[in-house]
């Protein structure tokens, strides 16, 4: 049985705790490896070594740090197939979807190649008599990234790129369910020229997470996962004086107006609702057609599309649309929520509960399911299912549909499909959600903007990647400098303007 350890000071090291977590093959239900769970002592060693390495890395000029990102990006491209296979093997997503996972992370690394432009400060000469003012952006020091199972490459890259190119050292704690990709990315960064110790990958469970949150050397923490854990990490990090950005769950709605192209809307819903088996924080899980005629026509188009979806292991190549969910516990939870929807009166139009795949009977597969006539009081509406389940909530009017989105506790992403510019503009302006799509189902911004939700989907003031990431991973120091140049002035005890 393969044992997966950690990445400390530029090399793979075995764990010493004697504790392990199983790394599953979601398609077969078999254990394919064991990953070591670090002790607090191992974590402390990694942090202390990162702090030593960070001193020299901060002193490396931003252009040279950017060149490491350039070389890193090239290596990611060269190893795209290997990375995608690694992602698919441990997560279960298809190879094309896994390549998308890697590509969207790579795009953030490409922005980090221009990090020097993001790290510039401000300057004002002659702000007063012989006085110059300037502000510098400096790294926080040692920071940590705690990343989820559903994007084994993308989200670690979202954390690694901005943090390291800003001059920080990073402790990366990936999900113990998908540890291999982060370790391989660390190897590629070393090949790209990153000094040993600047990136440490420490695998672990809650013991390591709490150790990160409590360790005095860690200055900032970035997290992506469920809302309860995001809130916990944000609160504990803040109470220990750390900067934190924590992104949680979602319940993303897509409104379909009567004037929308319903074929395009149906295609968008299938892709956004069932891709990656619904294990995306930006998945559309609620369709909101406006008007009964629109709803009936939409369901009529959705059913044949959903029934044609092919579910299977990533090894089947391009012949499948999505794979298994991550664990048996996830599968059981999804099936339980589907059952609750039926019990509470929703209409199960497409039933994925009985899905079986010959030769993969023990895999964590759930067939695609479609509900109609869902109401906001039902559990399938209130909870983030994180599975291949699409719920349809019928709205009488645009205002009713908008209210549904705005009243929801989550505010990660939302979309509207319409041919009317006024409606689209009104929706984008009024809706209290962080990322909005207009005739675009998964509105993940390009990497030179920033990603982030509102309400209980995010905790913290700054978003991921883009300009906000560089603000998060740096602190501002403002210098007031004076050169007397013959100015004669006696002592003053008064607090006064500089002019």
**Which residues participate in catalysis according to the annotation?**
281
CB atoms within 10 A of CB 315: 14
Residue 211, phi then psi, degrees to nearest 5: -60, -40
Structure-block tokens of residue 405: 């989105």
> What b/e readout covers 209-236, taking b as 16+ CB neighbours within 10 angstroms?
bbbbbebebbbbbbbbbbbebbebbbeb
Give residues with Cβ within 8 angstroms of 494, minimum separation 6.
none
CB atoms within 10 A of CB 417: 26
Reported as type and span, the H/E element at residue 86 is helix 80-91
Strand order in the sheet with 142-146: 11-13, 6-8, 199-201, 169-173, 142-146, 218-224, 243-247, 458-459
Could you give the CA distance from residue 392 to residue 375 in angstroms, rounded to a whole number?
9
Give residues with Cβ within 8 angstroms of 330, minimum separation 6.
364, 386, 387
Structure-block tokens of residue 432: 């209290």
Could you give the CA distance from residue 166 to residue 173 in angstroms, rounded to a whole number?
19
Could you give the CA distance from residue 45 to residue 50 in angstroms, rounded to a whole number?
9
260 with 418: CB under 8 angstroms? yes
């Amino acid at each position: 049985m393969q044992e997966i350890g950690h990445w400390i000071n530029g090399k793979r090291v075995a764990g010493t705790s004697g504790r392990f977590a199983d790394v599953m093959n979601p398609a077969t239900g078999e254990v394919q490896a064991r990953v070591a769970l670090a002790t607090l002592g191992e974590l402390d060693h990694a942090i202390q070594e990162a702090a030593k390495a960070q001193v020299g890395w901060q002193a490396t000029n931003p252009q040279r740090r950017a060149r490491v990102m350039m070389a890193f990006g090239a290596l990611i491209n060269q190893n795209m197939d290997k990375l995608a296979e690694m992602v698919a093997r441990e997560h279960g997503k298809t190879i094309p979807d896994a390549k998308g996972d890697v590509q969207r992370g790579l795009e953030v690394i490409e922005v980090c190649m221009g990090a020097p432009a993001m790290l510039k400060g401000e300057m004002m000469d002659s702000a007063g008599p012989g006085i110059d003012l300037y502000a510098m952006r400096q790294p926080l020091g040692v920071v940590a990234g705690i990343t989820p199972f559903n994007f084994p490459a993308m989200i670690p890259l979202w954390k690694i790129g901005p943090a390291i190119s800003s001059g920080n050292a990073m402790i990366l704690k990936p999900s113990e369910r998908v540890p291999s990709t982060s370790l391989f990315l660390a190897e590629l960064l070393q090949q790209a020229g990153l000094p040993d110790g600047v990136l440490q990958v420490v695998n672990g469970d809650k013991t390591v997470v709490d150790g990160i949150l409590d360790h005095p050397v860690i200055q900032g923490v970035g997290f992506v996962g469920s809302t309860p854990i995001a809130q916990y990490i944000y609160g504990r990090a803040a109470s220990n004086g750390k900067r934190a950005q924590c992104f949680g769950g979602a319940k993303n709605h897509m409104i379909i107006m009567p004037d929308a192209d319903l074929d395009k809307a149906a295609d968008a819903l299938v892709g956004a609702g069932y891709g990656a088996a619904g294990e995306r924080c930006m998945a559309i899980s609620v369709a909101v057609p406006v008007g009964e005629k629109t709803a009936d026509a939409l369901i009529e188009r959705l059913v044949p599309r959903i029934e044609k979806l092919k579910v299977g292991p990533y090894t089947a190549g391009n012949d499948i649309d999505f794979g298994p969910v991550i664990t048996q516990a996830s599968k059981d939870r999804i099936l339980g929520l589907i059952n609750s929807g039926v019990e509470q009166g929703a209409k199960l139009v497409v039933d994925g509960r009985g899905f079986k795949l010959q030769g993969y009977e023990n895999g964590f597969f759930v067939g695609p399911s479609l509900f109609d006539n869902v109401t906001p009081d039902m559990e399938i509406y209130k909870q983030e299912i994180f599975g291949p389940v699409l719920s349809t909530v019928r709205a009488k009017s645009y205002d009713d549909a908008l209210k549904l989105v705005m009243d929801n506790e989550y505010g990660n992403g939302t979309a509207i499909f319409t041919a009317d510019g006024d409606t689209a503009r009104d929706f984008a302006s009024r809706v209290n959600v962080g990322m909005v799509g207009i005739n675009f189902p998964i509105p993940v911004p390009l990497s030179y903007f920033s990603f982030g939700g509102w309400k209980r989907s995010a905790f913290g003031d700054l978003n991921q990647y883009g300009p906000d990431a560089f603000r998060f991973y740096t602190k501002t120091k403002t210098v007031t400098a004076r050169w007397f140049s013959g100015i004669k002035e006696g002592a003053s005890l008064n607090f006064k303007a500089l002019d």
